[in-house]
A and B are shown apart, each in its own frame.
Chain A
Amino acid sequence: MPEALRWLFLGIVLLDLAFVQLTGTVTSPWLWALWSCAAVTPLLARLHEHAWYRATWNAAVVASFAFLVHDAVTSGLLHMLEDGLLLSALCQVHLLNNIGQRQRPDLLFFNSFLIAFVTSFFCGDLGWSIAFAAYAGLLVLALQLHVCLPRSGDPPKGAVRTIARDGLSRSAVALALTGAVFLLWPRDFKREGWMSDSLHIGGAPIVAFADQVRLDRTSTPTLSEAPVMRLVMPDGELPPTHWRGATFVQFDGAGWQQFRIRDFGNRRATDTPWTVASATQWRRAATGDQGSKGTTRRDDASAQCAVTLFDTSGGRLFLPLLTSSFDLEFTAGALVDPKADGIVALVDFGEGPREVRYTVRAGAPQQLAELSATARALLTQTPENVPGPLRSVEQELRRTAPPDASAAQRAEHARSWLAGSRRYELPGTPGAARTLDDFLLGTGGGHCEHFATALCLLLRMQAIPSRVVGGYVAQEQDAATGAFVVRQKHAHAWVEAWFPGHGWVTLDATPEGAVATAADDDGLLADARKWMEGVWSQVTGFGEEERAAMFSWIGDSITQFALLVVSCPLESSLVIALVALLLAYRRRLRQLRRPAAVRGLEAAMRRLRLSLQDGETPRELLVRAASQAANPLAIETLERAVIAHEQERYRS
């Protein structure tokens, strides 16, 4: 096999390993072993002639394969994914080591694409996109060299370079065509697959509001720049930070169950209910004297906040905890459904995406004097088997808290301990916790759901009713307009705890500024990364609206161009004439490059309305033309042209 091709295969396999590494699901010792084996393949190729080497290699591969299959069958779903990816990677390294006379590279090509494809579900972030761009170039180049280069012997000097040049231009064409199809192909961006329910395969995970809180995420989500809300406060006031979308009350060991009214049995069990004030306004009784704790320094803002909700796919009107009323600008085609936990659901029946505008009036709603027994029991419920690390942390907090601390002080103590003692990591990143225990022990960093879960459970262990809340934080201010922009990457989880006499209080244990920190670094590299992430999130977040905007831009551009042509006829005519001249000149140049004999032959054939058939020589064409008893003059011309062509052709 040509040496150039061997190196390209090595590059493809290394990128496959990079894809697997990016998912963060595979443990390091396995991956490092595979990285090492792949990297030394060029050296191992020399040992192929030895039977002992082949026997050792194959035995090691079979043993690893058997172990991984056994592990995949006997382990849980999470390890099955890890084992599956490892098996694919092992297969690639094995193929790379055996490719040559006995092994064709077809399987290596397919398997490599499969790995890229599968890993895109778990880590379709910027890192994956960069790896895929490199992979696409290598794949096209390797395919071309594999097809073109003779299987034996060294290729002629310069052939590899010429083919590589052709391959690079073809890669560019492939990527450009893919981009064009991606932008222009009409499709349903909200299509539900007919097997979605069974397969549970969605797109690449992104940070966004979700109806669930799970702690077993292992893939790094993309920080999407897609805007969700715009908040405008009068006179430059700051809006509330925490905007609620869902509350979660029951912990199952790996995640939280959403609030369900049937568990509480009473609409007034936990929160003051919303009442309809008018066709567009909802309100609840306000006391106006409630404060807040923790990091919610702006949640007691009393002014009105104008909200524009761009993304209604969450099915929520996001509201701060301390909201006394809200007014919707429209209700036609939309159903507003306030829930018993203070959350307001929005069912939009309108066709296509549309913005929802509403005004939020801040003010503490009248709190319940006491929680019902059912509610208190549910909101202080802890797992049957409290994890050891959680118990240790709770004991540590009891030991370090002031002896006569109130419930609110103990809650604040727990919050500040977590915020100061545990570090923040996005799931799937190096050093991220894989379980709640990892996070509590401090061996892995957690994301906001880890912080919220730990705090909520710690409060419940101290008999403080609490719940986890999901929604968004408002922290990005547009310097030009002063408005706050909430993006998908600002999705967040925090805790609300209930204190007698105070009602619900927001407690956020996640270290300040941790939300979407990956995009908030400074420096040239960080800026470049931010820009690339922005571009990639536009790709992953491309939807019907963006497509419509693009077509609108194209249409506008054409219209503007047409208007320009009409308004400046003389200049336009001049430009068109210049372009036409340039095209004619290029065509003439191309014609001049062809020998006169060839052009003469073509002209003679055109005159007789004949063309060369497959494998037919001009001389045979002449015989055919003569047999058809065509115009003798034209035949004579053709004969002269054929002779001239033969002289030109065979003069060497």
Chain B
Amino acid sequence: MRLRPTGLGAKGALFFAAVVLLFFATAYSNLFFLLTTFLGTLGALGATGAWRNLRGVSVELVSVEAAATGDPHALRIRVTGPRGKIVYGVLVDAVIDGHVRCIAEVALARVGETIDAAQKGMPRGVHSIEALTVRSRHPFGVCMATATTTVRAEVIAHPRPAATPIANAHGHAGDGTKPPGGDEESIASLREWRQGDAVRHIHWKATARRGSPIVKEFERHGGEGVDLVIDRRCELASLETALSEATRCVLEAAATRQALRLRSQDASLELDADRPEVAPLLRWLASAMPLPKNAPPPPVASQRSITLTSVAHGGVDA
């Protein structure tokens, strides 16, 4: 933990020095001594109070939510330290890409509590959180106590989803709610229940027979969702547009539990319809950059694929 004077503390120290100087310049007076002592006591209590307030306290990152470019990111921070302790005037800073940003300010926090923090909108990309710092000026604002924790986490600022759906060449015209791809499904097999499985997927008869929860596994007719191919041999502006379209597809696919494959040069990611994990796809979308025009082409598009951007069109080629 580090302790340093604040601006108010520095001004207070100067003020105190002036008072002490005047005290010694004039004849001794009990009232003067009392006032000088009170001022000194406030300073001493301010320093010791700041140290005691943050002693043994640190913060740890619980979660960071990905957000569209420019949208605030929600973070959850847990305060750790001696059980039952109350920490006053908590400010939490995050070192993101080498820059210190204040992400939370709360009047008081109990150890073990989780604080809701927010990071202002960031440009598209994957930004690394290098450290979390908890600081406090409590009690009098004359000293700032700081405790830093090294963390390894990322803030994903993915492209803002496009406002309008992609017109599908294969007749799956986007209606704004569902991605292209089949949505009829039938039971493919049974398996043991795993954490995260929906209750509605439990096969009750098989569960009753075996005595442990059994769930149904489904397969979709009409295939395996849709291939989303992004050709990155284009200008940045074109790529941004394509990435926005792709982000909309990915988020809608996840929301409606549709399978989706995202392909591009040296990238192939899948969104499982049953257990949709959008984070890897969003991370890739956040970090995707244009390639030179002589770069190899993306994987060959299938019948059900949608190709976004190309050298020829320089825009969406859906």
Contact = CB atoms under 8 A, between A and B. Distances in A.
23 contacts: A106-B11, A110-B15, A140-B42, A143-B140, A147-B138, A148-B108, A151-B105, A156-B107, A163-B108, A166-B88, A175-B38, A177-B45, A178-B37, A178-B38, A181-B41, A185-B37, A187-B28, A191-B28, A193-B23, A194-B25, A199-B26, A540-B30, A615-B147
Nearest to A109: B8
Contacts of B22: 201
Contact of B31 (A124, A150, A595): A124
B19 interface: yes
B107 A148 contact: yes
A195 B147 CA distance: 45
A116 interface: yes
Interface string A175-199: 1011001100101111111111001
Contacts of A289: none
Contacts of A136: 38
A417 interface: no
A268 interface: no
Contacts of A146: 141
Nearest to B83: A594
Interface string A282-322: 00000000000000000000000000000000000000000
B64 interface: no
Interface residues of A, number: 61
B152 to A, nearest CB: 12
B106 to A, nearest CB: 7
Centre residue among B11, B27, B83 by max chain A CB count within 10 A: B27
B233 to A, nearest CB: 45
B141 A147 contact: yes
B294 to A, nearest CB: 47
Interface in B93-131: 105-108
Interface of B: 1, 7-8, 11-12, 15, 19, 22-35, 37-42, 44-45, 49, 58, 60, 83-84, 86, 88-89, 105-108, 137-141, 147-150
B41 A177 contact: yes
A385 interface: no
A170 interface: yes
Given A143-B139, A182-B34, A202-B29, 7 more contacts: A143-B42, A163-B107, A163-B108, A202-B26, A203-B32, A593-B84, A595-B83
B251 to A, nearest CB: 30
Given A147-B137, A166-B88, A174-B45, A193 B105 contact: no
Given A117-B19, A203-B32, A614-B148, A147 B41 contact: no
A144 B138 contact: yes
Given A110-B15, A195-B26, A201-B26, A148 B89 contact: yes
Contact of A162 (B11, B15, B108): B108
A202 B27 contact: yes
B148 A615 contact: yes
Interface string A94-136: 0000000000001001100100110010001000000000001
Nearest to A166: B88
A182 B37 contact: yes
A24 interface: no
Contacts of B11: 106, 110
Contact of A539 (B32, B34, B106): B34
B32 A120 contact: yes
A163 B35 contact: no
A167 B33 contact: no
Nearest to B149: A615
Interface string A189-232: 11111111001011110000000000000000000000000000
Contact of B83 (A150, A541, A598): A598
Nearest to A198: B25
A531 B37 CA distance: 25
A191 B23 CA distance: 10
A147 B140 contact: yes
A149 interface: yes
Contact of A187 (B33, B49, B60, B138): B33
Nearest to B26: A193
A542 interface: yes
Contacts of A253: none
A113 B39 contact: yes
Interface string A586-604: 0000000111001000000
B141 A143 contact: yes
Contacts of B45: 170, 173-174, 177
Given A117-B35, A178-B37, A204 B105 contact: no
B107 A155 contact: yes
B306 to A, nearest CB: 42
Nearest to B1: A614
B147 A174 contact: no
B16 to A, nearest CB: 10
Nearest to B139: A144
B139 A147 contact: yes
A116 B138 CA distance: 24
B28 A188 contact: yes
A150 B28 contact: no
Contacts of A178: 34, 37-38, 41
A424 B114 CA distance: 68
A120 B23 CA distance: 13
A159 interface: yes
B150 A615 contact: yes
B102 to A, nearest CB: 11
B86 to A, nearest CB: 7
A124 to B, nearest CB: 5
B139 A170 contact: yes
Given A113-B39, A166-B88, A178-B34, A204 B108 contact: no
Nearest to A174: B41
Nearest to A117: B35
A196 B37 contact: no
Contacts of A173: 45
Give the 10 A-B residue pairs with the shortest CB-CB distance, closest first. Answer: A203-B29, A148-B89, A195-B25, A193-B26, A615-B149, A159-B107, A147-B141, A191-B28, A143-B140, A150-B105
Contacts of B8: 106, 109
A117 B23 CA distance: 11
Centre residue among A110, A151, A615 by max chain B CB count within 10 A: A615
A116 B36 CA distance: 12
A107 B26 CA distance: 25
Nearest to B56: A612
B88 A163 contact: yes
A149 B107 contact: yes
Contacts of A193: 23-28
B140 A144 contact: yes
A162 B88 CA distance: 10
B103 to A, nearest CB: 13
Interface in A561-576: none
Contacts of B37: 178, 181-182, 185
B10 to A, nearest CB: 11
Contacts of B29: 202-204
A166 B107 CA distance: 13
Nearest to B89: A148
B244 to A, nearest CB: 32
Nearest to A195: B25
B148 to A, nearest CB: 7
A191 B32 contact: no
Nearest to A129: B31
